Amino acid sequence: MTAPTQQTRPVVTVALALVVAAVGLVTGVALSLGTIVFLSLAGFELSATHLIVISLVMTQGIAFGGVALVYLRLRDLPTSFIGARIPTLRDLGWVVGGYITAIAAIILAGLFVFFTGVQTSSNQAAELGIQNPEVLLVLIPASFLLIGPGEELLFRGIVQGTIRRVLGPVPGVILASAVFAAIHFVALTGGTSGRLVSIAILFFPALVFGAAYERTGNIVVPSLIHGLYNATLFSLLYVSIQMGQIGAL
């Protein structure tokens, strides 16, 4: 096989990043389903909380992290390629600023949806949380322990890092954010048009995660922003349910 030429290398790089993201997702689904089937056949009765914990551990924990490490090994890249260190005061400043910006982005998106009347899709985890509020009490800490670190490791550390090496920082942030948002298609419910609108909305906080990573070079920073962002949304949903503003489906 001949090496990619200067003209084809960007295409190959983006394709490789897409493959890595897809492999991470498929591996996570396979591990989750395999674990659920195994436990069910072994006689365990799995609740909604059990299912969400299994999915989080197998997908964001094992699959995403495992695929990222295998990628580094196969391409003979050091772990420093990802960049992980204890946050400095500057890093923490980016965490605070990134969190505020991400929340502002989702608020503006909500206002846009409200005033335009466009249809969006629901997140499966959020719907499960509405039906079983105790699930949200798992998702809130999991946002920091599994969701943020796992997704940022794969999509920022690997996908964005890979694209950046060939195309530069701006395309790296934009394309990785697009891949990250698009991969959530399978986690949404409803029609295609509603899912596409939700993906477009998710693209903007994803840009914040990617920009923070690009500016700090520390994967811990977007992981914390992502964790705070998700935990805030899950917390607000839980409070709304407890106040009776959202009823069971």
Residue 37 in any domain: the answer is: yes
- With cut-offs at 50, 70 and 90, classify the pLDDT of residue 6: low
Q: Give pLDDT, residue 117.
A: 87
Share of the chain above pLDDT 90, in %: 67
Is residue 62 very low, low, confident or very high in pLDDT (cuts 50, 70, 90)? very high
- Report yes or no on 247 lying in a domain: no
pLDDT, tens only, 158-193:
999 999 989 999 999 999 999 999 988 888 887 888
**Mean pLDDT across the stretch 66-84?**
93
Query: Is the per-residue pLDDT at 244 higher than 80?
Result: no
Q: How many angstroms separate the CA atoms of 228 and 95, rounded? A: 9
Domain for residue 2, yes or no? no
Q: Report the alpha-carbon distance of residue 164 to residue 64 in Å, rounded.
A: 20
| 243-245-249 Cα angle (round to 5) | 115
Q: Is 4 part of any domain?
A: no
Inside any domain, residue 126: yes
Q: How many domains, the chain? A: 1
With respect to residue 55, please indicate whether it lies within any of the assigned structural domains: yes
Contact 95, 224 (CB under 8 A): yes
How many whole angstroms separate alpha carbon 231 and alpha carbon 201? 18
User: What pLDDT is recorded for position 126?
Assistant: 81
| Residue 185 located in a structural domain | yes
Q: Who's near 211: CB < 8 A, 6+ residues apart? A: 98, 173
pLDDT digits (tens, 9 = 90+) for 90-141: 999 999 999 999 999 999 998 988 898 888 888 888 888 888 888 899 999 9
φ, ψ at 31 (rounded to 5°): -65, -40
pLDDT of res. 249: 41
At 247, is the pLDDT very low, low, confident or very high (cuts 50, 70, 90)?
Answer: low
Task: Say if residues 150 and 60 touch (Cβ distance below 8 Å).
Answer: yes
Q: What is the pLDDT of residue 14?
A: 85
The residue range of the domain holding 178 is: 9-242
The answer to whether position 213 is within a domain reads yes
